[in-house]
């Protein structure tokens, strides 16, 4: 095995040449390399597990509420290996994935957080929401350090959902000056999208649910309703509703005539599951917000069928979000009626669902 210090040196040099973010110093190894080697101190349990948190100077965000939670957990956990697993994983998003934090160029009060899933400099809507979600248990006030990550994620997701609601992964915002690397893959998508903003455009209905759920988490933990009226959040919810309404339109009319769907996706791929059938239009649907790309990417993906569980989950998130919208003086007048048109699980169209 290569000595650890040699590996770290190579990785550090690579990081200096390559992706020097705003947050982490250029001398830090990329976490993809760092995570492949064992680091001391090892846990005192049977498994002598490695300590995998980056050096403090190389972490992408510091949170005292998260550090306090780790210390509390240490007191409560008698198995040192179990505690080590928690200590390595719980802070992992803030340690490694907050690629950039800052403010919108057109509003110096609008916090933004660009959160990556791993080695690619792109932010997935669903993944970033779910990476931040575990910190809701330590989020108690809008003044907590971690609250800024929630607001930054929600604001940036809102921007993306307004620009391209059917897309699922996005490049860094121009404010980050991270020199985005557009995706070289060949996709043909309607509606068309800007390759300098979007990384992939695989529509997933649960992206909407993830954004709404994160919003609800932030609201219920902090009570900070004003935040939602200040920036783009209302417009993002409107964009989600419009995009869903368009997808709920049937693709066959009463007389069987063809109605093109709002979203189509075709890709040059080596697998049958990597594109949508029926020339990118998928199966005909009838009234339900269908889901083109499902999260497990295996179970239902090949069927390309509407997914009633996702449909209902987004409906539930919309209901939860309604609590916020009702408190905002600037809410659009007709929004409640639009929200109410989300058909319940038993609505007509369930014959399309392969549950
Ligand atoms: C986190 O704190 C360490 C010192 O403990 C510091 O070196 C590092 O720059 C901080 N990281 C950020 C993103 O502020
Ligand atoms: C951990 O337990 C010790 C001893 O009971 C206590 O003094 C300390 O405050 C606890 N720390 C945390 C973070 O709960
Ligand atoms: C601010 O800039 C972003 C990115 O250029 C844009 O998407 C957004 O619509 C702008 N916001 C306003 C309120 O003009």
Taking CA atoms only, the protein residue closest to ligand 2 atom 11 is 72
Long-range pairs for 275-278 at CB < 8 Å and ≥24 separation? Answer: 276/304, 277/304
pLDDT at 283: 62
Q: Are residues 317 and 215 in contact, defined by beta-carbon separation less than 8 angstroms?
A: no
Sign of CA dihedral 253, 257, 260, 266: positive
Q: Percent of the chain at pLDDT above 90?
A: 55
Nearest ligand 2 atom to the CA of 68 is 13
Grouping H, G, I as helix, E, B as strand and the rest as coil, residue 102 is strand
pLDDT at 238 over 80: yes
Ligand 1 geometric centre to CA of 316 (Å): 39
Q: Would you say 184 and 245 are in contact if contact means Cβ atoms under 8 Å apart? A: no
Contact 153, 214 (CB under 8 A): yes
- Separation between Cα atoms, residue 207 and residue 234, nearest integer Å: 16
Look at residue 137 in the predicted model and tell me its pLDDT. Answer: 97
CA–CA gap between residue 261 and residue 249 (Å, rounded) = 8
> In degrees rounded to 5, what are phi and psi of residue 234?
-60, -45
CA of 256 to the centre of ligand 1 (A): 62
Q: What pLDDT digit, counting tens, does each position of 265-292 carry?
A: 777 666 666 677 666 666 666 554 444 4
Mutate to test the pocket of ligand 3, among 173, 232, 234, 238 (most ligand atoms within 8 A of CB): 232
**In the predicted model, what is the mean pLDDT of residues 233-240?**
94
pTM assigned to the model: 0.84
Which residue CA neighbors atom 7 of ligand 3 most closely? 159
Q: Is the model's pLDDT at 202 over the cut of 60?
A: yes
The total of other beta-carbon atoms located within 10 Å of residue 320's CB is 17
Which ligand has the nearest atom to the CA of 69?
Answer: 2
Helix (H, G, I), strand (E, B) or coil at 197: coil
Q: What are phi and psi of 95, to 5 degrees?
A: -70, -35
CA 76 – CA 96 distance, rounded (Å): 25
Task: Please choose, from the candidates 170, 173, 161, 152, the residue with its C-alpha nearest in 3D space to the C-alpha of residue 208.
Answer: 161
Q: What is the CA radius of gyration of the chain?
A: 22
Ligand 3 centroid, distance to 106 Cα (angstroms) = 6
* Whether the predicted pLDDT of 20 surpasses 50: no
Ligand whose nearest atom lies closest to the CA of 176: 3
Q: If you search the block for the tokens 């339109």, which residue do you land on?
A: 249
In the chain the domains, ranked by start, together with CATH numbers, are: 4-96 (no CATH), 97-247+307-345 (1.50.10.10)
User: Locate tokens 């003044």: which residue?
Assistant: 143
In angstroms, the CA 123 to CA 119 distance is 11
Cis peptide before 41 (omega within 30 of 0): yes
Alpha-carbon gap, residue 343 to 315, rounded angstroms: 8
Ligand 1 atom 5: residue of nearest CA: 56
Which is nearest to 275 in space by CA: 286, 285, 264? Answer: 264
pLDDT of residue 299: 35
Which residues, judged by CB distance below 6 Å to any ligand atom, belong to the binding site of ligand 1?
23, 56-57, 59-62
Number of H helices, E strands in the chain: 13, 7
Q: In the predicted model, is pLDDT for residue 4 greater than 50?
A: no
Q: Hey, whose CA ends up nearest to atom 1 of ligand 3?
A: 106
Side-chain half-sphere exposure of 212, counting CA atoms within 13 A: 25
pLDDT of 96-148, one tens digit each?
999 999 999 999 999 999 999 988 999 999 999 999 999 999 999 999 999 99
Q: Which residues face 104 on adjacent strands?
A: 107
Q: Give the pLDDT confidence score for residue 39 in this predicted structure.
A: 97
Contact 151, 188 (CB under 8 A): no
Between the two ends of the chain, the Cα-to-Cα distance in Å is 49
């Amino acid at each position: 095995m290569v000595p650890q210090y040699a590996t770290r040196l190579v990785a550090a040099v690579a990081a200096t040449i390559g992706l020097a973010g705003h947050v982490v110093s250029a001398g830090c190894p990329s976490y993809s390399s760092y995570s492949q080697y064992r680091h001391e101190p090892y846990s005192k349990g049977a498994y002598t597990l490695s300590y995998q948190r980056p050096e403090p100077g190389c972490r992408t965000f510091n949170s005292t509420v998260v550090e306090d939670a780790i210390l509390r957990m240490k007191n409560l956990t008698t198995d040192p290996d179990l505690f080590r697993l928690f200590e390595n994983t719980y802070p992992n998003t803030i340690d490694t994935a907050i690629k950039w934090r800052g403010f919108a160029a057109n509003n110096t009060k609008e916090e933004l957080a660009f959160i990556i899933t791993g080695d690619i400099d792109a932010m997935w809507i669903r993944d970033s929401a779910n990476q931040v979600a575990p910190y809701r248990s330590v989020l108690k006030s809008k003044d907590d350090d971690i609250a800024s990550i929630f607001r930054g994620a929600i604001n940036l997701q809102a921007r993306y959902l307004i620009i391209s609601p059917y897309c699922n992964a996005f490049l860094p915002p121009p404010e980050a000056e991270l020199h985005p690397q557009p995706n070289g893959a060949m996709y043909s998508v309607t509606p068309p999208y800007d390759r300098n903003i979007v990384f992939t455009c695989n529509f997933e209905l649960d992206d909407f649910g993830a954004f709404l759920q994160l919003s609800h988490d932030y609201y219920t933990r902090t009570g900070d309703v004003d935040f939602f009226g200040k920036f783009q959040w209302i417009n993002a919810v409107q964009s989600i509703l419009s995009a869903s309404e368009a997808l709920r339109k049937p693709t066959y009319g009463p007389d069987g005539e063809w109605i093109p769907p709002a979203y189509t996706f075709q890709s040059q791929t080596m697998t049958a599951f990597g594109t949508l059938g029926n020339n990118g239009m998928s199966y005909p649907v009838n009234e339900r917000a269908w889901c083109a790309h499902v999260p497990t990417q295996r179970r239902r993906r090949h069927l390309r069928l509407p997914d009633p569980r996702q449909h209902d989950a987004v409906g539930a998130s919309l209901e939860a979000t309604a609590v916020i919208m009702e408190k905002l003086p600037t809410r659009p007048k007709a929004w409640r009626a639009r929200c109410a048109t989300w058909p319940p699980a038993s609505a007509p169209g369930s014959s399309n669902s392969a549950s």
